[in-house]
Amino acid sequence: MKNKTLHLHMRTNNLLSDFRTLIIAIILLLLCLLAKAQAPKQFSFQGVARDAAGKVVANQLIRLRLTIYKTAPNSNIKFEEEHTPITNINGVFTIPVGSAGMDLSAIDWKESEYYLQVEIDPTSGNNFIDLGTTQLLSVPYALHAAEANKLKNDDPIFMTGNLGQGALLPVIPGQSKFIWYPRKAAFRFGFENTGVWDDAQIGNYSFAFGNNSSATGEASFAGGLNSIASGNYSMAFGEGAVAKARGGVAFGRWGENDDDPDPKNLALNDRIFQIGDGNGANSRHNVVTILRNGKVGIGASDPDYTMDLRGRMRIRYFGTETAGIFFNTKNGNPDGFVGMKTDTEVGLYLKTWKFWVNDQGNGYLNGNLIQTSDRRLKTNIQPFKNSLGKVNGLQGYHYNWEDKTRDQTMQTGLIAQEVEQVFPELVSTNKDGFKSVNYIGLVPHLIESVKELKSKTDEIAVLRKELEGMREMGKRLELLEASLNKGAGVAEIKTAAK
- The CATH number of the domain holding residue 85 is 2.60.40
**For residue 5, which phi and psi values (nearest 5 degrees)?**
-65, -45
**Is residue 285 domain-shared with residue 401, that is, in the same domain?**
no
- Taking Cα atoms as reference points, which of 194, 199, 286 lies closest to residue 238? 286
Predicted local distance difference test score (pLDDT) of residue 346 = 95
**Is residue 88 domain-shared with residue 8, that is, in the same domain?**
yes
Please state, in angstroms and rounded to a whole number, the distance separating the CA atoms of residues 290 and 274: 7
**Is residue 296 domain-shared with residue 330, that is, in the same domain?**
no
For residue 157, tell me if it sits in a domain. Answer: no
Predicted local distance difference test score (pLDDT) of residue 22 = 45
**For residue 204, which phi and psi values (nearest 5 degrees)?**
-60, 140
Last residue of some domain: 106, 133, 148? 148
Predicted local distance difference test score (pLDDT) of residue 356 = 93
Predicted local distance difference test score (pLDDT) of residue 141 = 52
Predicted local distance difference test score (pLDDT) of residue 300 = 92
For residue 203, tell me if it sits in a domain. Answer: yes
For residue 487, tell me if it sits in a domain. Answer: no
**Is residue 60 domain-shared with residue 128, that is, in the same domain?**
yes
**Is residue 119 domain-shared with residue 80, that is, in the same domain?**
yes
Please state, in angstroms and rounded to a whole number, the distance separating the CA atoms of residues 321 and 336: 15
In which band, very low, low, confident or very high, does the pLDDT at 489 lie, cut at 50, 70 and 90? low
> In this predicted structure, which of 159-168, 178-187, 243-252, 274-283 has the lowest mean pLDDT?
159-168
pLDDT above 80 for 159? no
- What mean pLDDT is predicted for residues 113-122? 89
Please state, in angstroms and rounded to a whole number, the distance separating the CA atoms of residues 216 and 207: 9
Predicted local distance difference test score (pLDDT) of residue 210 = 96
Predicted local distance difference test score (pLDDT) of residue 497 = 57
- Taking Cα atoms as reference points, which of 300, 301, 302 lies closest to residue 313? 300
399-412 pLDDT, tens digit each:
998 988 888 888 89
> In this predicted structure, which of 19-23, 220-224, 470-474 has the lowest mean pLDDT?
19-23
For residue 455, tell me if it sits in a domain. Answer: no
Percent pLDDT > 90 in the chain is 46
**Is residue 7 domain-shared with residue 135, that is, in the same domain?**
yes
For residue 38, tell me if it sits in a domain. Answer: yes
For residue 142, tell me if it sits in a domain. Answer: yes
**For residue 461, which phi and psi values (nearest 5 degrees)?**
-65, -40
329-371 pLDDT, tens digit each:
999 899 999 999 999 999 999 989 999 999 888 888 888 888 8
> In this predicted structure, which of 102-111, 432-441, 457-466 has the lowest mean pLDDT?
102-111
**Is residue 14 domain-shared with residue 106, that is, in the same domain?**
yes
Q: Are 129 and 119 in contact (CB under 8 A)?
A: yes
Element (H, E) at 136: strand 129-136
pLDDT above 60 for 30? no
Predicted local distance difference test score (pLDDT) of residue 39 = 43
Is this structure's pTM higher than 0.85? Answer: no
**For residue 479, which phi and psi values (nearest 5 degrees)?**
-65, -40
- What mean pLDDT is predicted for residues 44-53? 81
Predicted local distance difference test score (pLDDT) of residue 15 = 40
Q: Are 254 and 240 in contact (CB under 8 A)?
A: yes
In which band, very low, low, confident or very high, does the pLDDT at 304 lie, cut at 50, 70 and 90? very high
Q: Exposed, middle or buried: residue 399 (CB in 10 Å: 0-12, 13-18, 19+)?
A: exposed
Please state, in angstroms and rounded to a whole number, the distance separating the CA atoms of residues 19 and 27: 12
For residue 207, tell me if it sits in a domain. Answer: yes
**Is residue 137 domain-shared with residue 231, that is, in the same domain?**
no
**Is residue 196 domain-shared with residue 292, that is, in the same domain?**
yes
Predicted local distance difference test score (pLDDT) of residue 144 = 55
Give Rg (Cα) of the chain.
57
**Domain range holding 345?**
324-365
Q: Are 413 and 399 in contact (CB under 8 A)?
A: yes
Please state, in angstroms and rounded to a whole number, the distance separating the CA atoms of residues 85 and 66: 13
Q: Are 68 and 33 in contact (CB under 8 A)?
A: no
Higher pLDDT, residue 241 or 126? 241
Please state, in angstroms and rounded to a whole number, the distance separating the CA atoms of residues 265 and 276: 24
**Is residue 189 domain-shared with residue 262, that is, in the same domain?**
yes
Please state, in angstroms and rounded to a whole number, the distance separating the CA atoms of residues 373 and 371: 6
Please state, in angstroms and rounded to a whole number, the distance separating the CA atoms of residues 407 and 220: 63
Predicted local distance difference test score (pLDDT) of residue 143 = 54
3-class DSSP assignment, residue 238: strand
- What mean pLDDT is predicted for residues 160-188? 86
Predicted local distance difference test score (pLDDT) of residue 149 = 57
For residue 481, tell me if it sits in a domain. Answer: no
Predicted local distance difference test score (pLDDT) of residue 459 = 84
Predicted local distance difference test score (pLDDT) of residue 492 = 63
Mean pLDDT of the chain: 84
**Is residue 196 domain-shared with residue 275, that is, in the same domain?**
yes
Residues paired with residue 482 on neighbouring β-strands, in sequence order: none
427-455 pLDDT, tens digit each:
999 999 999 999 888 989 888 888 888 88
**Is residue 224 domain-shared with residue 297, that is, in the same domain?**
yes
- Taking Cα atoms as reference points, which of 84, 87, 136 lies closest to residue 114? 136
Higher pLDDT, residue 260 or 484? 260
Total domain count for the chain? Answer: 4
Percent pLDDT > 70 in the chain is 87
